[in-house]
């Protein structure tokens, strides 16, 4: 069976492709955010492609073009902002709604947006974010060191990722630590300014290739994910898979089986950070329950099998 996968988000598509059975031949049509590449070039690629099924990431122009060119069946894969924000946009909302109504199947990467999708398409189901266990796997926690290492993994977007709240929390932590974070996101400059204002010893590094992120997780004593809208992000999943205690805010009613916390305040965040840094037994216990969860729910091998079952319904 020939699958055409269009676009990607947080490496979800390329991770799944690695674990699909050999009988599935996948053509992955990628694009950049440059104007020509995300308009005329991707349109030409989709038009020329031939497949038995189309799997499109993000319910925006790529999905719309796939449907308009008569490519069928189409699985539309929503990843968050397309349903959380763009759906309500005067300029682009109609495209998202058209895609929701006309795709043969809808997958959503976050349970927080599932009900929104179901309002337009009853086929919608939650499809967890996969991680690649060949890249992200557990290593022992670092040996005891006087100055702990913390990695703030999310891009700096104060509204969605809440990285500013983490900086405020870190300023109240009474344990010596060094902070490393990626100089990436619309609020990256604001984050640097805030970290300096708060007196944090923070190193802002350049973006690294996805396959190098594991090294950043492994060298840390603790990984911070997001403190924003409460959805489970890729960085938190990968860090848990790498065997590091993770502090990451989730809305618990949507992730009842996930061993992360619904963090209600900066003070609670400070307490979690200090607990994991001070007590290695607590940290190791957290690592164990986190890994058990991600291995059973988010491993790419598990989710590739789930995708195969979905695809087979169209064959």
pLDDT in tens, 149-207: 999 999 999 999 999 999 999 999 999 999 999 999 999 999 999 999 999 999 999 99
Considering only CA atoms, which of 178, 149, 162, 174 is closest in space to residue 283? Answer: 149
Considering only CA atoms, which of 277, 238, 232 is closest in space to residue 258? Answer: 232
- Give the span between the Cα atoms of 165 and 264, in whole angstroms: 11
- Give the span between the Cα atoms of 256 and 91, in whole angstroms: 35
Question: How far are the Cα atoms of 59, 124, 125, 232, 301 from residue 75, in angstroms, in the given order?
Answer: 10, 10, 11, 22, 19
Q: What is the pLDDT of residues 43-76, one digit of tens each?
A: 999 999 999 999 999 999 999 999 999 999 999 9
As a whole number of Å, the end-to-end CA separation of the chain is 8
Give the model's pLDDT for residue 37.
79
Phi and psi angles of residue 311, each rounded to the nearest 5 degrees, phi first: -65, -40
pLDDT band for position 220 (50/70/90)?
A: very high
- What six digits make up the tokens of 276? 């994991």
Buried b (16+ CB within 10 A) or exposed e, 149-177: bbbbbbbbbbebbbbbbbbbbbeebeeeb
> To 10 degrees, what angle do helices 93-102 and 61-68 make?
50
Considering only CA atoms, which of 286, 303, 301 is closest in space to residue 240? Answer: 286
Residue 33 has pLDDT above 90, yes or no: no
Q: What is the pLDDT of residues 248-264, one digit of tens each?
A: 999 999 999 999 999 99
* Pair 72, 104: CB distance under 8 Å: yes
Element (H, E) at 289: helix 280-297
**pLDDT, mean over the chain:** 96
Please state whether 188 falls in left (phi above 0), alpha (psi between -120 and 50) or beta.
alpha
- The label of the residue with tokens 């990256």 reads 188
pLDDT above 90 covers a percentage of the chain that reads 95
Residue 36 has pLDDT above 80, yes or no: no
pLDDT above 70 covers a percentage of the chain that reads 100
Give the model's pLDDT for residue 104.
98
Give the model's pLDDT for residue 34.
80
Mean pLDDT of 128-147: 96
Buried b (16+ CB within 10 A) or exposed e, 17-41: bebbeeebebeebebeeeeeebeee
Give the model's pLDDT for residue 232.
97
Residue 90 has pLDDT above 80, yes or no: yes
pLDDT band for position 39 (50/70/90)?
A: confident
Give the model's pLDDT for residue 38.
81
Residues in Cβ contact with 236 at an 8 Å cutoff, skipping those fewer than 6 apart: 153, 223, 225, 226, 246, 248, 260
Give the model's pLDDT for residue 267.
97
Mean pLDDT of 30-54: 89
């Amino acid at each position: 069976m020939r699958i055409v996968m269009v676009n990607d988000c947080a490496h979800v598509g390329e991770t799944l492709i690695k674990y699909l059975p050999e009988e599935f031949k996948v053509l992955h049509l990628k694009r950049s955010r440059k104007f020509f590449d995300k308009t005329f070039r991707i349109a030409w690629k989709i038009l020329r492609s031939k497949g038995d099924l189309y799997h499109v990431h993000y319910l925006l122009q790529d999905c719309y073009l796939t449907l308009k060119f008569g490519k069928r069946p189409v699985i539309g894969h929503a990843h968050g902002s397309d349903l959380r924000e763009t759906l309500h946009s005067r300029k682009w909302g109609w495209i998202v709604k058209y895609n929701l109504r006309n795709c043969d199947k809808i997958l959503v990467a976050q349970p927080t947006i599932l009900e929104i999708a179901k309002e337009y398409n009853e086929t919608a189901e939650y499809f967890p974010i996969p991680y690649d266990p060949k890249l992200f796997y557990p290593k022992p926690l670092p040996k005891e060191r006087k100055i702990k290492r913390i990695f703030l993994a999310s891009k700096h977007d104060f509204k969605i990722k809440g990285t500013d709240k983490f900086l405020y929390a870190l300023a109240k932590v009474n344990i010596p630590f060094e902070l490393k974070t990626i100089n990436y996101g619309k609020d990256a400059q604001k984050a640097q300014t805030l970290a300096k204002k708060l007196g944090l010893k923070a190193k802002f590094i350049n973006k690294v290739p996805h396959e190098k992120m594991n090294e950043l997780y492994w060298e840390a004593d603790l990984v911070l994910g997001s403190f924003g809208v409460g959805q489970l992000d890729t960085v938190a999943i990968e860090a848990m898979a790498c065997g590091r205690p993770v502090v990451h805010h989730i809305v618990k009613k949507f992730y009842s089986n996930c061993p992360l916390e619904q963090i209600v305040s900066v003070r609670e965040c400070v307490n979690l950070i200090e607990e994991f840094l001070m007590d290695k037994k607590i940290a190791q216990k957290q690592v164990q329950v986190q890994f058990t969860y991600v291995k059973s729910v988010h491993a790419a091998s598990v989710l590739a099998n789930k995708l195969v079952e979905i695809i087979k319904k169209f064959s």
